[in-house]
A and B are shown apart, each in its own frame.
Chain A
Amino acid sequence: MALINGLSIYLSNRQGGLSAEQILVNAFKARVEADGGSVENTACLTNDVEYLTTNPEPAAFTGLLDTYSGAAAAYSLRLLSSTYSGNAIKVRRASDNVEQDIGFVDNELDTSSLETFCSGTDGFVTTWYDQSGSNNATQTTAANQPKIVSSGTTITENSKPTIQWVDTSDILTAVASTSISNDLTAIAVNASNVQSSQFANGPILQYNVDSSNHISIGYRYGGYFTRLTKAGSTLTLNGYDFSSTSLNLVFDYVDYTNASNEIYVDNVSGSDANAGRSNFDSTSRIDIGNRTLGSLSPQTAISEMIIYESDQSTNRTGIQSNINDFYSIY
């Protein structure tokens, strides 16, 4: 198709008086005959060329994971990879507890199918599919499932679908590595719910390796925090001090070896040390929107969570631009 488009432009600059389609037909016919073949039906060929020139292939989709590969887990309500052919989420509707997979249309969540399925009732996420592999984040307990549809309408932030952690017990869980020798980069798109209660602070992501090694990134009343437990010793790393209920883009690179981090919120570097609260157990797991033991969700809305078990700080600007271009955060 690219060849035809290019040829069309080239020929249209050379052969005035003929339509682009006719120039292409003539060129194609000449090429076939030069190769020893023949074109039996020129009208048919003209129709084909007309169809191809009036229905060009859309530009190839390039997702964030195509450009920045190697994620350990990637959850989003938009398509992140041109090679991912699965669904975005599995949803349980409150009216009868039937569950259904919801995929993508034009690389975004198929909200039409979602709202048709929920048909005026609430919809809860039972599974957030991993677009980088098969490490899906799930919740089997109904009361702990975050919400995506409210009374038949998709919940949104910045006009894009989002998942709302409504109750303090809401949590989605996947599997983490059982060892950590590398760094961790976590990128989250979330809107925090500023509250004055004890639940105003809690993790948006906990990465638990074992009983002595954890990374917790979360929201507290007054900003974001990062906590690292390495070989049993817990350190409070750089956070970002502010209060906002708007949609945020959080980029947090944790240097596990040197027990340090770089955190950016909406492309601004944070350097304070919010204590935050977290709690772990010995299970290797990724917890989204809550601590491992539950009951401490910051009741945030999360639209995207991408985790690399590597240093992605050199890709930070590009990753942030990719996300911000879609979500219009800052």
Chain B
Amino acid sequence: MYYTSQNREELVAYNEAVNSGEGYNGTTTQWAEIIEHPNGADYAILKHPKYDAELTIEETLGEDWFPQNDI
């Protein structure tokens, strides 16, 4: 499950909320990374099972999210 948004900051805030709640320490420093769609306008982040947000939720991200260039 992923949260998506065209406002990257919303997803950054979600990530920080999870980080704060989970209190990661040691090697682990954050919950997840923001995924940027190749169109440059859409963003996504993996949903943490324990943390909900009022964001658009997607079951999975389609192949269009991931660059295919093989060099």
Binding site for B on A (CB under 8 A): 90, 92, 97-99, 126-127, 138-145, 167, 169, 198, 214, 227, 229, 234, 275, 277-280, 293-296
Find out whether the CB atom of B26 lies under 8 angstroms from the CB atom of A167: no
In Å, the complex CA distance between A279 and B27 comes to 26
In Å, the complex CA distance between A140 and B67 comes to 23
Find out whether the CB atom of A140 lies under 8 angstroms from the CB atom of B30: yes
CB distance from B21 to the nearest CB of A (A): 10
In Å, the complex CA distance between A287 and B70 comes to 16
Residue from the list A127, A143, A167, A293 in contact with B67, Cβ < 8 A: A293
23 A-B pairs with C-beta separation under 8 A: A90-B26, A92-B27, A92-B28, A97-B22, A139-B27, A140-B28, A141-B29, A141-B32, A141-B33, A142-B30, A142-B31, A142-B32, A144-B33, A145-B28, A169-B33, A198-B63, A229-B71, A275-B70, A293-B67, A294-B33, A295-B35, A295-B65, A295-B66
Q: B residues within 8 A CB of A279? A: 67, 69-71
In Å, the complex CA distance between A46 and B54 comes to 78
CB distance from A206 to the nearest CB of B (A): 11
Q: A residues within 8 A CB of B30? A: 140-142
Find out whether the CB atom of B35 lies under 8 angstroms from the CB atom of A99: no
Question: What 1/0 flags go to B36-71 for Cβ under 8 Å of A?
Answer: 000000000010100000000000010101111111
B: contact size bracket: 20 to 34
Q: B residues within 8 A CB of A97? A: 22-25, 28
Given that A278-B70, A279-B71 are contacting pairs, would A142 and B28 also be in contact in the complex, using a CB cutoff of 8 Å?
yes
Find out whether the CB atom of A99 lies under 8 angstroms from the CB atom of B27: yes
Given that A141-B29, A144-B33 are contacting pairs, would A277 and B71 also be in contact in the complex, using a CB cutoff of 8 Å?
no
In Å, the complex CA distance between A315 and B32 comes to 41
Please list the 8 inter-chain residue pairs (A to B) with the smallest Cβ-Cβ separation, ordered nearest first. A143-B32, A99-B26, A126-B27, A198-B63, A140-B29, A143-B46, A234-B71, A295-B66
Given that A142-B24, A169-B46 are contacting pairs, would A214 and B71 also be in contact in the complex, using a CB cutoff of 8 Å?
yes
In Å, the complex CA distance between A227 and B69 comes to 13
In Å, the complex CA distance between A280 and B23 comes to 32
